[in-house]
Amino acid sequence: MEGNVSFTYIIKNELSNNEVEFEEARSIISAFAKINGQMQIQNKQTKIVLSSESADTAKYIYKLIRKYYPQYNLSTSFVKVMKLYKATEYRINVLGDVDSFLEDIKLDLWDSKINYDLKNKPDRIRGYLIGTFLASGSCTTPESTNYHLELSVNDEKYAHEIIKLINKIKNLEFGFKITQRRTKYVIYLKKSANISDFLAYLNALNSCMEFEDIRINRDYSNSTNRLINCDTYNFNKSLETSRKQLEMIDFLDKRIGLDNLSNEKLRELCKLRRDNPETNYSELATLLAERMHKSVSKSNINHLFIKLKETYENLNHDD
């Protein structure tokens, strides 16, 4: 880790750069708004204000709302706040029909319970916990011998709701506990293995690997299993991406026929993906370069799959 950048910052920065689909995004927004959101009235106008001390996190939440809820007016601002240290608080202001916005993200600011629609599927649960960590999570540096990851909330009942949500995750047991710290209720982990597993679960895979890489120098026991878990999560994520791409390719083939795609590279990439469902982007770039007799980079492959998704969404929307 470079300079004075905290490990918490590194985790949140990684989470803020992950792509998510609508249902996961809605859970992220709702959890973040539950913890760091408040309703305000200014100039006889009601607004929802979402705040964060991280510019990257605020930008990420802003982008998610802009992408999935474009009907609402957004503005941003920042203020200097005086705590134990001087900090900048970045704010996202949701203007207009705030009641409809809260209804859309399935949030009641005054209810401790988590809406069923935010926790009835695995990706929704993961999204909610990502949003919770972005709003109030922290993690000590793996260079410390005192491992500690926590989620901090104001309401005891809500803290227990989060524990119940975590317990819904299949095949994983993290061992979270709750303690009170002044006016806060802290949900925390102390064991390094559990912290590593939780980071991997959140899809903070680079942070998970860095956590393991640093602590392995003095805590070698059981580290191999954690690294394998990180690779497994990464591999499973790649398989899921490939599955979605194959679904889009099958749709386009039935709808217009792959041979009718005007983009020759995209046409050939679709055929290669069908023949190589588990191949990564670098390997696909090599295969496509051999077929096209021209240079193809991993970045080219990524842009072609973005084009595939745009073509699929346009045709699906027309239907």
Residue 11, token pair as written in the block? 């985790």
pTM reported for the whole predicted model: 0.70
| Cβ atoms 208, 172 nearer than 8 A | no
Closest CA to 30 of 96, 106, 91: 106
Q: How far is CA 307 from the centre of its chain?
A: 22
The fold of the 7-221 domain, in CATH, is Endonuclease I-creI (3.10.28)
What type of residue sits at position 190? K
Which letter does DSSP use for residue 144 in this model?
S
Counts for the chain of helices (H) and strands (E), in that order: 12, 8
Helix (H) or strand (E) holding 7: helix 7-15
pLDDT per residue rounded down to tens, the chain (319 residues): 544 579 999 999 999 999 999 999 999 999 999 999 999 987 788 899 999 999 999 999 999 999 999 999 999 988 887 665 567 899 999 998 999 999 999 999 999 999 999 999 999 999 999 999 999 999 998 888 789 999 999 999 999 999 999 999 988 899 999 999 999 999 999 998 899 999 999 999 999 999 888 877 765 655 566 667 777 777 788 888 889 989 999 998 998 898 988 899 999 999 999 999 888 888 999 999 999 898 989 889 989 989 989 888 888 766 5
CA–CA dist 125, 121 (Å, integer): 6
Q: At what angle do helices 7-15 and 55-68 cross, to 10 degrees?
A: 20
